[in-house]
């Protein structure tokens, strides 16, 4: 179940810039414990999926897991051996821009120690620095 949007307005998007901090999605909304990003970066759909699978495997599909990020930015690349020029290239993968302070995953309905170990394992699959945020 690799994440990608069903419908997009524009096929190719400019890279843009990353913001330093996020002031909107910085608190737990659904679960009691979650993963919060410490630094800004770009997370691919494969990273999100790998983290989701490892967290679900560790909590043995008990409780509920929320994914608070969605990869809606297309990453373009040209195939190997193609010369420079001739346009931008086709969609290689999908990614999400992450700002510092953003909540990435949330868990509810699992024992706190088990949830912490699951989120630690999930955080190792992500390419940015994260910390575990608890409501309990």
Q: Which tens digit of pLDDT belongs to each residue from 113-131?
A: 999 999 999 999 999 999 9
Residue 129 counted as domain residue: yes
Tokens of 30: 């659904």
Whether 101 and 46 have beta carbons less than 8 Å apart is answered as no
**Model pTM greater than 0.85?**
yes
Tell me how many domains the chain contains: 1
Q: What is the 3-state secondary structure (H, E, C) of 39-83?
A: CCEEEEHHHHHHHHHHHHHHCCCCCEEEECCCCCEEEEECCCCCC
Residue 22 counted as domain residue: no
What mean pLDDT comes out for the span 48-62? 93
Residue 116 counted as domain residue: yes
Residue 109 counted as domain residue: yes
Which residues, at least 6 apart from 15, have a Cβ–Cβ distance to it below 8 Å? none
**What single-letter DSSP state applies at residue 101?**
T
Residue 18 counted as domain residue: no
- Residue 129, domain CATH: 3.90.1170.10
């Amino acid at each position: 179940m690799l994440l990608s949007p069903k419908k997009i307005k524009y096929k190719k998007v400019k890279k843009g810039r990353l913001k330093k901090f996020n002031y909107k999605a910085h608190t737990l909304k659904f679960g009691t414990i979650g993963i919060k990003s410490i630094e800004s970066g770009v997370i691919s759909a494969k990273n999100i999926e790998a983290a989701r699978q490892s967290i679900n495997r560790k909590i043995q599909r008990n409780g509920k897991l929320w994914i608070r990020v969605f990869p809606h930015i297309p990453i373009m690349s040209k195939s190997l051996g193609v010369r420079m020029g001739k346009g931008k290239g086709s969609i290689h993968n999908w990614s999400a821009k992450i700002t510092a302070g953003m909540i990435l995953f949330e868990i509810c309905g699992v024992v706190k120690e088990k949830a912490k170990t699951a989120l630690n394992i999930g955080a190792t699959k992500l390419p940015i620095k994260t910390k575990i945020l608890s409501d309990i």
